[in-house]
Amino acid sequence: MTISLKLNGQTHDVEAEPGTPLLWVIRDELKLTGTKFGCGVAACGACTVHMDGEPVRSCQTYIEDVEGVEITTIEGLNSKAAEAVQAAWTELDVVQCGYCQSGQIMSAVGLLSENASPSVEEIDDYMNGNACRCATYQRIRAAIQRASDIMEA
Amino acid sequence: MTINTSRRGFLQGAAAASAVLLVGVRPDGAVAAGGSDATMLNPFVRISADGRVTAIVKHFEKGQGPATGLTTLIAEEVGVTMDQIDYDFAPSNPEVYNNLAFGPFQGTGGSTAMANSYMQYRQAGAAARGLLIEAAAQEWGVDSGSLSITDGVVSGAGKSAPLGNFVATAATLDAPAEPSLKDPSEFSLIGNPDIRRKDTPPKVNGTAIYAMDLHLDNQMVVMIARAPRMGATVASFDDADARGIKGFIQAMTLPNKAGVAVYAEHTWAAFQARDALSVEWDFSAAESRSSDQIREELIAAVNADPEYSVNKADQAEVAARIDGAAQVLEETYYFPLLAHAPMETLTCTIEPLADGGIILHDGAQIPTGPHMALSQILELPMEKVQIKTMFAGGSFGRRATPEADYQVEAGLAFAITDRTRPVKLVWSREDDIRGGYYRPAVAHRVRVGLDADGQIVGWDHRIAAQSIMKGTAFEGMMVHDGVDHSSVEGVPDSPYQIPGQFVGLTDVAKATSVLWWRSVGHTHTAYVMETMMDMAAQAAGRDAVEFRLSLLEGGGADQERLADVLKLAAEKGGWGNAPDGRHQGIAVHKSFGSYAAQVVEISGGADDVTIEKVTCAIDCGLAVNPDVIKAQMEGGIGYGLGHAMRNEVTLTEGEVDQYNFPDYEPLRIGDIGAIEVHIMPSAEAPTGVGEPGTPPAAPALANAIAASGPRITTLPMNANGASFA
């Protein structure tokens, strides 16, 4: 089937079989590799993208379900919250291996877009689905708080 | 036409613009320099005429920090800022880029990246500085002793110019035999806590390219249907259903019959086609034991006479000491198989070249292994196999196997094609969790005798393990008199001055492939040593810190350094002053040349434990990148705690029971509160940081739980007496 995919502000006509995860269309067809494969079962969050601004797991989002919605990947982030999150991530050197961090950042931007100054409990709750095997969690938590401060400033 | 025959004039002309200064240090310590690839192959530092400095990093970057650390060493010695230097990963060439701790192998492991590179990279940077200064002195006609380089500018004797101006001349000079290293008092980058990671920018905007992200024109994606039990082989397969998958190319049995390679045009087609494949396995030589049986075998082994006496102590004499003691403590421990589960699953790509050679694109942890293996499999001379090292999405040991397992899979899958299309091997998370190469299952039994004064009089320690090193290329280095050091490290070589200690080891046949896992033997030995130490202190009626310190008193530097981190962690962690409703546990352990102590503070009872806070003290010698060291402690602690809390790989009749993260649940953000890291100031040579943060974490947690709850001696904790909130 052919899908008209709106992604990062552009429209792409994508040829894919029904049931194809959005993740593989983004990575293999559109060659945008910032969105990562981690588990394939929506248990790690490495593949997180935004669908109309809301974080979703692209490994469990199917191509037939994204017609007409606006998809944003890490490469297309462009908002006040995104700028603050990426600045905070840089300032605190959150990353280690970095493989999960696109997904962490997509979720963090989702959180701050709906809650500009989350508590520690709200951060932990919202970010619970994003696994980091390097265990950079303490810096993720601090960077979200820092991003919140940057947004307020 | 005028030909400028003056040497200086020529150099200042066209050639100067493209000039480059290359400096390296050979493994014998000799410095070498030159001005082109023909004169100076494989350098550690490259400086171009525009002043850009590039560090050639011989260790791969899996998050542990060498892309920043080795670059810092070069920048410091040359005299440039961190913004004036870039880095590239080194090609595969063990004659130049070998790990000095590994001998003739290029590779990363054992927390050695900084330890083995520290002098080498500083010398290369210092030699480059010396050459640039000598070149400037010649051009300016001044004494080189009056010149220095700061922030990329050569200055002195009333003159100053960017260092790039002197690259062309410097490249014609002989390298100094003994480069003049900076005195540590002059360091502005080494030890600077404000230095930021060089790999952060591409990792926060999605542009960092990992091996999984490589996409070559005309590539095929290959996934392998692997035998579900160790030792099973392919009997036959049916790909009728796979043929209906759009993008499926073909399926072929690997030459070693370990699996069926499924080739597809893209990744999702490979996933689907492999799922659609039906394989008949020959289980006649396959493993059929279950994890309960493995555990029984290991426990039986520690209750029998050991196969090997590790420390050559008199077993009967030690037994007599314990039998005659006022108090005897005895515990049996069991540690399950564990998967590494790095975020990026295993992957690599083999690219065929027009000249018949290949490039392996890989997050290559030990390049020499796949280099040799692919040369053999593809019957290519070594120089026809190139390796391009890419970012690795974690490893924790998994990307380094003595057999180069996944690169060999890719090589075999490529070898049986017509070798015209690139082959990209992709593992799924299920492949990763179920694919073997686990932290071995291990049992310990310890008997400790205390006299009436609460002093240890005897310590009988038996370990039964599945050997990691035997039968591998590392056997010669790590196995002595039958003892695989990686099974026992942390016990016979503990800095504690334990009177009457016997250490025995028995090897038990493995039921899966096994592998080093972040901190290797220390993953279990630290747990046993530090929980036994806690029990002994309790039995003696003494404070856990004071008791440990008494076993370190009057020793040498080793004992002092361990005692110092213990005291620092206790002080910073508020040892003995836990707030109401909280309990503390402490542990200290030396591994990979470094000394780490941690205080874990928990709230709740054994049925709803919350880890509130971890305080860590680390002595890793001179701290090159303090913030990277802190990050490695934070990560190492998380890795140790998460697995101890709830992870295990189990087998039913030889087959792995777990399949993916839902039943091999990773540590999550809400699982640990704050982690605070304190670095012990030190002028000693740098030692490891990637692994030493892991060993003390689990025993410190166990000791905190035991302060008001059960003493957990079988892991994971959540299946053996503790639940986490």
Tell me the per-residue pLDDT of B346-368, one tens digit each, with 9 for 90 and over: 999 999 999 999 999 999 999 99
- Indicate the pTM of the whole model: 0.96
Q: What dihedral angle (degrees, nearest 10) is formed by the CA atoms of B569, B570, B574, B579? A: 110
Give me the pLDDT at residue B3, please.
37
Over 60: is that where the pLDDT of B184 sits? yes
**Which residues share a beta bridge with B463?**
B444, B505
CA distance linking residue B240 with residue B224, whole number of Å: 17
What is the residue-wise DSSP string for B630-698?
Answer: HHHHHHHHHHHHHHHHH--B-EETTEE---SGGGSPPP-GGGEEEEEEEEPP--SPP---TTTTSTTHH
Domains of chain B: 8-205 (3.30.365.10), 212-284+346-426 (3.30.365.10), 291-339+438-719 (3.30.365.10)
Best of B268, B645, B659, B672 to disrupt the A interface (most A CBs within 10 Å) is B268
Give me the pLDDT at residue B7, please.
39
CB contact under 8 A, A136 and B345: no
Name chain B contacts of A98, Cβ cutoff 8 Å.
63, 199, 202-203, 208, 391, 393
CA distance linking residue B202 with residue A133, whole number of Å: 19
CB contact under 8 A, A90 and B345: no
Q: Is B405 exposed, middle or buried (0-12, 13-18, 19+ CB in 10 A)?
A: buried
Give me the pLDDT at residue B41, please.
66
Contact A8, A75 (CB under 8 A): yes
What distances in angstroms separate CA B634 from CA B64, B346, B403, B604, B611, one per listed residue? 11, 24, 31, 23, 14
Q: How many helices (H) and strands (E) does chain A have?
A: 5, 5
How is residue B319 written in tokens? Answer: 């037994």
CA distance linking residue B517 with residue B296, whole number of Å: 23
Distance of CA B404 to the CA centre of its chain: 16
Give me the pLDDT at residue B9, please.
40
- Distance, in angstroms, between A17 CA and closest chain B CA? 8
CA distance linking residue B272 with residue B661, whole number of Å: 20
Q: Residue B15: pLDDT band by 50, 70, 90 thresholds? A: low
Give me the pLDDT at residue B39, please.
56
Question: Which pLDDT tens digit goes with each residue over B269-281?
Answer: 999 999 999 999 9
Percentage of chain B with pLDDT > 70? 97
How is residue B172 written in tokens? Answer: 């014609």
Question: Which pLDDT tens digit goes with each residue over B62-103?
Answer: 999 999 999 999 999 999 999 999 999 999 999 899 999 988
Percentage of chain B with pLDDT > 90? 93
How is residue A52 written in tokens? Answer: 């109309």
- Distance, in angstroms, between B127 CA and closest chain A CA? 31
B508 dihedral zone (left: phi>0; alpha: psi -120 to 50; beta): beta
Which of B14-23, B175-184, B431-440, B479-488 has the weakest average pLDDT? Answer: B14-23
CA distance linking residue A23 with residue A40, whole number of Å: 9
Give me the pLDDT at residue B150, please.
98
CA distance linking residue B645 with residue B611, whole number of Å: 11
CA distance linking residue A89 with residue A76, whole number of Å: 17
Over 50: is that where the pLDDT of A107 sits? yes
- Distance, in angstroms, between B141 CA and closest chain A CA? 45
Percentage of chain A with pLDDT > 70? 100
Name chain B contacts of A31, Cβ cutoff 8 Å.
215
CB contact under 8 A, B635 and A136: yes
Contact B629, B689 (CB under 8 A): yes
Average pLDDT over residues A105-118: 98
Name chain B contacts of A95, Cβ cutoff 8 Å.
63, 197, 199-200, 203-204
CA distance linking residue B602 with residue B611, whole number of Å: 5
Percentage of chain A with pLDDT > 90? 97
Over 90: is that where the pLDDT of A81 sits? yes
Q: Is the interface score ipTM higher than 0.95?
A: yes
What distances in angstroms separate CA B517 from CA A151, B337, B690, one per listed residue? 41, 10, 11
**Packing angle between helix B66-78 and helix B113-140, nearest 10 degrees?**
30
Give me the pLDDT at residue B40, please.
59
Strand order across the beta sheet in which B327-335 lies: B308-309, B501-507, B456-465, B442-450, B327-335
User: A2-7 and A70-72 as β-strands: parallel, antiparallel, unpaired?
Assistant: parallel
Question: Which pLDDT tens digit goes with each residue over B118-131?
Answer: 999 999 999 999 99
Give me the pLDDT at residue B477, please.
87
How is residue B6 written in tokens? Answer: 């003056």
CB contact under 8 A, A97 and B196: no
Q: Residue B474: pLDDT band by 50, 70, 90 thresholds? A: confident
CA distance linking residue B203 with residue B199, whole number of Å: 7
Give me the pLDDT at residue B32, please.
86
Name chain A contacts of B630, Cβ cutoff 8 Å.
none
**Which residues share a beta bridge with B423?**
B220, B350
Question: Which pLDDT tens digit goes with each residue over B651-691?
Answer: 999 999 999 999 999 999 999 999 999 999 999 999 999 99
Per DSSP (E only), the strands in B396-500 are 423-426, 442-450, 456-465, 479-480, 483-484
Give me the pLDDT at residue B12, please.
44
What is the residue-wise DSSP string for B361-400?
Answer: EE--SSTHHHHHHHHHHTT--GGGEEEEE-B-S--TTTT-
Give me the pLDDT at residue B5, please.
38
Cβ-nearest to A93 among B212, B391, B627: B627
Best of B343, B675, B689 to disrupt the A interface (most A CBs within 10 Å) is B343
CA distance linking residue B679 with residue B700, whole number of Å: 19
CA distance linking residue B37 with residue B545, whole number of Å: 57
Q: Least CA distance to B429: which residue of chain A?
A: A39
For B251, the 3-state DSSP assignment is: strand
CA distance linking residue B607 with residue A43, whole number of Å: 25
Cβ-nearest to B393 among A74, A99, A140: A99
CA-atom Rg of chain A in angstroms: 15
Give me the pLDDT at residue B660, please.
98
Q: Least CA distance to A89: which residue of chain B?
A: B204
Over 90: is that where the pLDDT of B292 sits? yes
CA distance linking residue A124 with residue B470, whole number of Å: 43
Cβ-nearest to A138 among B208, B271, B634: B634
DSSP B714: B
Nearest CA-CA partner of A48 in A131, A122, A151, A144 = A131
What distances in angstroms separate CA B560 from CA B551, B553, B566, one per listed residue? 11, 8, 10
Over 60: is that where the pLDDT of B214 sits? yes
Question: Which pLDDT tens digit goes with each residue over B621-656?
Answer: 999 999 999 999 999 999 999 999 999 999 999 999
Angle formed at CA B599 by CA B596 and CA B602, multiple of 5 degrees: 145
User: B85-89 and B53-57 as β-strands: parallel, antiparallel, unpaired?
Assistant: parallel
CB contact under 8 A, B63 and A96: yes
